[in-house]
Amino acid sequence: MNINALPLDANTNGWSALLSPRVAKPSLRQTIKADWLVIGAGYAGLAFARRIAENRPHEQVVVVDAVDIDDSASARNSGFAIDLPHNIGSSTAELEKAANYRRLLHAGLAQLEALIARHAIECDWNRRGKYHCIVRPELGGLLEQYAHELQALSEPYQLLQGETLARQLGTPYYHAAIHTPNCVLLNPAALVRGLADSLPDNVTLYERSPALEIQPGRAVRVRTPYGEVQARQVMVATNGCARQLPMFSRQVVGLSTFATLTEPLTAEQQQRIGQIGEWGMTPANAIAGATLRYTRDHRFLIRQHVAYVPGYTVTTRYTAEITRRHQAIFLSRFPQLADVPVAHTWSGMISVTRNGAPGWGRYGDNLYAAVGCNGAGISKQTIAGSTLADLATGVDNPLIADMQALGKPNFIPPRPLLDIGIHGSILKERWLGRKEY
């Protein structure tokens, strides 16, 4: 199995740019042996490695990643660690599946909170909740449906609109929102850096060491540009480029998403929007709409635009186009802040499955995988990694059944049919959500 292309984001991750410099772990430059090899040091890969090391303290675990940890896709997201599934549904089967998903998300959050406390990871972790917003009154039915679904799960929420909502967000742009209180806002680069730098002693991490070839066998051989790992067991957590592996070539597709961070607001600029605290909001239409955050250091984050990039490369020119789009989105909501400059715009890959189910489980005698984050990676992929490690080592964990209950990814067609289908689907969502833009 060959990895022929690696994601290239020709832009600077704004989250990592806010952090103090870090010395990356060395790249792999020799042939080594290990009991376990993890390919990909995102949330799933790091959680898997940590739990394997805890379950098998006398075995050696190696983790390889293609880039510096705080510049990886896991460090480039919008910094929402969600506690509830984005889509719940109202049928008995849908509610049961949502309850499974909720248990997993809560367990992932609890696991991360414990690690942050134990290792004093500074990542701006703040359980501020999340606003789910609509711009047009005509979409009020979507919020009503969401409220009924939350009631069915006995989840707390607030329906906000008008002046009340405007005072909390600092803008009258949104017609209404449902606020749920337990979503966590954070700096994802700081979190993934802290998780990587606090791994157990029997875990060795190699950065800037992409896996280029995987040769199955009793001992799996994985080649990197300057080295090789021979391991008895391998776990794949490559997520965005997982489609290059045969078992995921008809299940998973990678998409690029884009975000912008502004410079911090001055004291005078803060006065223009009122005394508001840190907040995060998601739009009714996830493809066309814009996700926004107001951070604890008084910056705005704008995440909008999803692109299908089969070559895995996002250029500087394309990033500049998105910067202009994000500036327009920001000014439509905060016209009084036209003098707030942009600090960084960047991209990052997510992996998506057709039905939202993850690629998770055992894929051979000594091969495991956790891919298909579907854009909800922090809490979800953390628990996906740790439960997979328990499955691999025979540790009883009731959450394994919850992971299995999420199902398997549906079939996706080969290219060029895939390209046509994805472009058509994105255009459709942009048209449907054009007034939520």
pTM of the model: 0.97
Instruction: Give ranges for CATH 3.50.50.60 in the chain.
Output: 8-77+189-253+354-425
What are the Cα distances from residue 328, in Å, to 14, 81, 94, 102?
19, 27, 38, 35
Tens digit of each residue's pLDDT, the chain (437 residues): 888 888 889 899 999 999 999 999 999 999 999 999 999 999 999 999 999 999 999 999 999 999 999 999 999 999 999 999 877 766 667 778 889 999 999 999 999 999 999 999 999 999 999 999 999 999 899 999 999 999 999 999 999 999 999 999 999 999 999 999 999 999 999 999 999 999 999 999 999 999 999 999 999 999 999 999 999 999 999 988 889 999 999 999 999 999 999 999 999 999 999 999 999 999 988 888 999 999 999 999 999 999 999 989 999 999 999 999 999 999 999 999 999 999 999 999 999 999 999 999 999 999 999 999 988 889 999 999 999 999 999 999 999 999 999 999 999 999 999 999 999 999 998 888 877 76
CATH class (in words) of the domain with range 8-77+189-253+354-425:
alpha beta
Q: In the chain, which residues fall in CATH 3.30.9.10?
A: 126-186+256-352
| CATH superfamily, with its number, for domain 126-186+256-352 | D-Amino Acid Oxidase, subunit A, domain 2 (3.30.9.10)
